[in-house]
Amino acid sequence: MSELQKQIQGSVISAMKSGEKERLAIIRLITSAMKQIEVDERIELDDARVIAILDKMVKQRRESIAQFKTAERDDLVKQENYEIGIIQEFLPEALSEEEVDDIVNQAIDKTGASSIKDMGKVMGIVKPQIIGRADMGEISGRIKSLLTTNS
């Protein structure tokens, strides 16, 4: 069991002891998602894979928020934001704009990327460094605009 999984299991226990039912439900969703992948793929998760799972869960909730805002369902927006907050407790600290820019610029320099055709190479270097620490969609757009203006 990875360190992050142990931390999440510890949070399940503390949420149960303190009677935080909403928090417990969300942490159980996390443990369920991890267990599903372990069973389906017959693997033991490492911290990197757990972070990828958590990042995917946050992304799904952000997509839901966009849809709920369109439907003017503020109650559901509030719930999704609450869930994001709890999931993010287990993710590494978010990167600052400057840190993201440095990582992106270093990847562009390292790959010698000069056009949008090189985006896959750049993303291949950037993604492992920022997963769970920044919004991949936002980063992808940033890389795309940099490569478009460079060409």
Q: Please check whether residue 130 is in contact with residue 103, taking contact to mean a CB–CB distance below 8 angstroms.
A: yes
Q: Please check whether residue 90 is in contact with residue 54, taking contact to mean a CB–CB distance below 8 angstroms.
A: yes
DSSP helix, strand, coil percent of the chain (3-state; round to 5): 80, 0, 20
Q: Please check whether residue 122 is in contact with residue 143, taking contact to mean a CB–CB distance below 8 angstroms.
A: yes
Which residue ranges make up each domain of the chain?
Answer: 3-88, 97-150
What is the per-residue pLDDT for 151?
A: 56
CATH fold, domain 97-150, is: Arc Repressor Mutant, subunit A (1.10.10)
What is the per-residue pLDDT for 16?
A: 97
Give the global pTM: 0.82
The CATH number for 3-88, chosen from 3.40.50.720, 1.10.1510.10, 1.10.238.10, 1.10.150.390, is 1.10.1510.10
Q: What is the mean pLDDT of each run of 10 residues along the chain (151 residues)?
A: 94 97 97 96 94 94 96 96 96 91 93 90 92 87 85 56
What is the per-residue pLDDT for 94?
A: 87
What is the per-residue pLDDT for 1?
A: 85
DSSP alpha helix (H) spans, 1-151: 3-18, 21-41, 47-70, 74-88, 97-111, 119-130, 136-150
